[in-house]
Amino acid sequence: MSGFFDRLLSRDKKSADQAKERMKLVLIHDRTDFSHASLEKLKDELIGVISRHVDIDPGAVRIDMTQDGRQQRLIADIPLKAVRRRRLG
Amino acid sequence: MPAKVITITSGKGGVGKTTATANLGAALALQGKKVVCVDGDIGLRNLDVVLGLENRIVYDLVDIVEGRCRLRQAMIRDKRLPELYLIPSAQTRDKSAVSPSDMVRLCEELRPELDFILIDSPAGIERGFRNAIAPADQILVVTNPEVSAVRDADRIIGIIEAEEKGPPRLIINRIKPNMVKRGDMLSADDVIELLAIELIGLIPEDEEVITSTNRGTPIAMDNKSRSGQAFRNIAQRLNGHQIPFLSLDQDTSLFGRLGRIIRQGGN
């Protein structure tokens, strides 16, 4: 079903835009030799390490590779959970 | 001043390296420079036919390297232009006949007598490519606005940077302005953003490149041709001149051309 909607959406999208989006991802992975699968693994490990120190919502963690000129960056966005303080006496 | 060595490469085959080398050679020679074009594609010789000099080959690059002739004997002079020469590659040998240090030595010998040495690199990232970039002072990467050509260009740019031969500059060849306008072809800006290197030339798709290649006359020698103009502009930029890039959004359809003729008539 989601495939149907994807097709519906991508039909309106210009092929040049699709090419550019696809190339952005491909080039980042080519340049760093770092696959999507390893990125997911890294994310899981990172969540594990950080959770030992501070309370986070694993579902809200985002890790992305971005291009800055010919440099690649790993950007992690890890929202912290608010601390529930015990009400004092 | 000793010659600058400029290598033209691409990663992917068929994007227009040889056409670019021949045309930049012709354009630089038209601008009064002493130029030699070296065909670095051993076993797949083509620069000679593109330049229309195939019938005049006696000695080739491997003959020079292996000492069977003097450098001068293998340099074929293009009689249509004041100072354009070709050193053809060998057709019956393979890439291992020449080493990167052979290419460096060859260029050192050529440098004092010339303004530009242009090396046409073979496709790929193997020996022939390594030979072609070894003596380079500057590298031009040719690509087309297509995913496979862009991806291979990126790979080659990475290798050039790792070899500390960079940063290379980019030629985007075979742009179809009408397709770009429709959103069906990567624009020059898209390609530059993806590859993140400096642009040195934009060449529109042009059927006349095929007809002029059929005749063995580089399109850069045709004053009326837009793609010829694009190559002449790159030659100017190689000489350090600041030349604005051609605007490629001109409508090349019949109606667009008629419209332009009418507007020009009105002026």
Q: What is the CATH number of the domain that holds B75?
A: 3.40.50.300
Cβ neighbours, 10 Å, residue B192: 16
DSSP secondary structure letter of residue A85: P
Q: Nearest Cα to B22, choosing from B11, B37, B40?
A: B37
Mean pLDDT across B218-228: 96
User: Nearest-CA residue of chain A relative to B179?
Assistant: A16
Total count of domains within chain A: 1
User: Nearest-CA residue of chain A relative to B159?
Assistant: A31
A30 to B150: CB separation less than 8 angstroms, yes or no: no
Give residue for tokens 């890039």: B245
| Of residues A20, A69, A70, nearest to B190 (C-beta) | A20
d(CA A29, CA A23): 10
Residues with Cβ within 8 Å of B253's Cβ and at least 6 positions away in sequence, in order, are: B178
What letter represents residue B76's amino acid? I
Residue A10 region by backbone torsions, left for phi larger than 0, else alpha for psi between -120 and 50, else beta: alpha
Q: What Cα–Cα distance (Å) separates residue A38 from each residue in A45, A47, A73, B111, B120?
A: 11, 14, 15, 49, 39
Tokens of B217: 């006359």
d(CA B139, CA B24): 13
pTM for the whole structure: 0.86
Confidence band (pLDDT; 50, 70, 90) for B95? confident
Say what the pLDDT of residue B265 is: 47
| Of residues A16, A69, A70, nearest to B185 (C-beta) | A16
Averaged pLDDT of chain B:
93
Residue A88 reports pLDDT greater than 80: no
Residue B111 reports pLDDT greater than 60: yes
Q: B172: distance to nearest CA of chain A, Å?
A: 15
Give residue for tokens 């960079």: B166
| Residue A36 contacts B, CB cutoff 8 Å | no
Entry field: residues in chain B:
267
Q: How do residues A34-63 score in pLDDT, each as one tens digit? A: 888 888 899 999 999 999 999 999 999 999
Range of B194's domain?
Answer: 4-266
Range of A68's domain?
Answer: 2-77
Q: Are B244 and B254 in contact (CB under 8 A)?
A: no
Q: Are B216 and B49 in contact (CB under 8 A)?
A: yes
Total count of domains within chain B: 1
Q: Is residue A82 part of a domain?
A: no
Q: Is residue A11 part of a domain?
A: yes
Q: Omega of the bond prior to B167 within 30 degrees of 0, cis?
A: yes
Confidence band (pLDDT; 50, 70, 90) for A69? confident
Q: How do residues B187-213 score in pLDDT, each as one tens digit? A: 999 999 999 999 999 999 999 999 999
For the ranges A73-82, B74-83, B101-110, B130-139, the lowest mean pLDDT is seen at: A73-82
Say what the pLDDT of residue A56 is: 93
Contacts of A18 in chain B (CB under 8 A): none
DSSP secondary structure letter of residue B96: G
| Residue A22 contacts B, CB cutoff 8 Å | yes
- Secondary structure class of B118 (helix, strand, coil): strand
